[in-house]
Structures are given as structure tokens and as C-alpha cells.
Homo-oligomer: A and B are copies of this chain.
Amino acid sequence: MSLSPIERTVFVVSDSTGITAETFSHSVLSQFAQFEFEAIRIPFIDTIEKAESVAARINRCAQEQGQPPLVFSTLVDPKMAHIIGKANCTFLDLFGAFVRHIERALGVKSSRSVGRSHSAGTSNKRYNNRIEAINFSLAHDDGQYVNGLEQADVILVGVSRCGKTPTSLYLAMQYAVKAANYPLTPDDFERDTLPATLLPYRKKLFGLSIQPERLAEVRNERRPNSRYASLSQCLNEVADAERLMRMENIPWLSTTTKSIEEISTKILDEIGLDRRLY
């Protein structure tokens, strides 16, 4: 069937998972916010036959919708990319567009090996580090387990429901950062000190805060109409937590309008983990 003038179909084609092409397509298409894009990911296209079947699918789509779809490709094999590129589409060849520049810069030919980017054999150290970090962050979520905190790369602190858990998991999953998190509670504010458990790790602490109004919304989803979720409680806890973090010289940021990607990037920047080896 044909689409409305603001709808467009997008194919994301890859010899591997397609996650790179999908991330990129999402990023660049966010510059065309007046459109609605339906993205169809077609991963693991690693033979000529599969490429031909994708080209046929793209052609059918173009005919049915009366307009050629956008196609983001990270196909490494030039023959497969060529097959897709000949279909009735706007072909955006992420790999082909850059690999020759890089070959020239490095003075070698690329290996053109299909399906490399997210393949992680069990021998892959970086991959094992990520899994280990995920297990660490899960075990050290919400202060539930305090043994091994000395192995943490960072310990996120803040009031309940300010975003510590998703941020810890993202840091672990994406960056193999061992991120623990530990709540700051009314008990701590009464004593006006950090929890004793955290004192030996003061240099690893990073604070998250949040606007009290937003916090009340989030807590109300969890425990509707509770004292815990009341605006007055949230106002007090946030004020106390921010005062404590300032007093203790803990770097912190507000999560209110930030995605977990943005929060994580700022934390990595702050704790000096902005370099990676490929």
C-alpha cells in the first residue's frame, strides 16, 4: 500500500547484526523530524543469494509504496553491496563510503571479512570484560552487596529512582565499566554523612540528582500516592542529597533531561575513561 507523504520505509542491511547501521540511520534521520520512518533491519546477509533476495524485497517495497525506500548498508563485500545498490532505492553505503579513505591513510587493504563487527568469540578479552562488568553491576545494584566495591570503576550515588540503575547497567554493557550504585537515604541525611560503607571509596563516587517534580512522577508510577512519592518528600530528599554531595565534594549531575547515553558519556568524561583500545 502507499504511504502518507510523511512516512518512509528504511531498510538496514548488514552482514552482521545491523546494529551499527541502525544506530547510524537513527542518528542521521533524527535530523528529519517531520518524517516518520519505519526501519526494517535485515541482519546476517552474508551470501550473494541472500543479497539478491533483499534486493528483490526492496524492489517490491518501492513498487508497492510508489517510492524508493532508503537503504543503509554496512555490507563489507563489494559484490553484495553492488547487488543492493542496483535495487530501486536511495542506497547509503556506509562501509564503501569510508573504507577506501582509511585504506589510503593506513597504506593497506582492508580484510573485507564479513560479519566481524559484533562477532565476539569467547577468547575476546574485551567482550569477556563487558560480561564481567554486567555481572558486577547487577551484583552491586542499589547497595545490595558491598563486598568487592574496591573493584568498582565508579560508584553512583543518589536518592532512590534518580537513574542510578539503568546508568550503571549501560556503563557496564557498553563500556565494560564496573559501575556499582548505592542509594542515599533519609537516614544518611539525618546523620548528615555519607554511608560508612562508602567512606573508603570516596574517590570513586559520582552523584546523580534529579528535579524533585520529575522524581515524584517516577516514584508515583512505582508506589502511587505514597509518602515516598510525595512532592514534599522528593523536595526534601533532593535538597539533602545535593547538599551532602556538595559538602563532600562529590562530582554530580542532574539526570532530569538526559538520556542514559548522555549521562554515561558525561561520567566517562569526568572519570577519565574516554579512551578505548580497538
Q: Interface of A with B (CB < 8 Å)?
A: 8, 10, 16-20, 22-44, 68, 70, 74, 76, 90, 92, 94-95, 97-99, 101-102, 104-106, 108, 110-113, 116-122, 127, 130-131, 134-135, 138, 141, 165-166, 169-170, 173-174, 214, 256-262, 264-265, 268-269, 274-278
- B32 contacts A111, C-beta separation under 8 Å: yes
Chain B residue nearest to A259 (CB atoms) is: B120
Interchain CB contact under 8 A, B278 and A28:
no
- Contact, CB under 8 Å: A23 / B26: no
Q: State the CA gap A26–B20 with chains docked (Å).
A: 9
Q: Residues of B contacting A117 with CB < 8 Å? A: 26-27, 30
- Counting every copy of the chain, the complex holds 2
B277 lies within 8 A of A119 (CB): no
> With A19-B23, A31-B76, A39-B278 known to touch, is A98 a contact of B102 (CB < 8 Å)?
no
How many whole Å from A229's CB to the nearest CB in chain B? 15
Contact B259 A28 (CB under 8 A): no
A-B contact list, 6 entries, CB within 8 Å:
A32-B108, A37-B277, A38-B277, A121-B257, A134-B169, A135-B165
A167 to chain B, nearest CB (A): 10
Chain B residues contacting A119 (CB-CB under 8 Å) are 257-259, 262
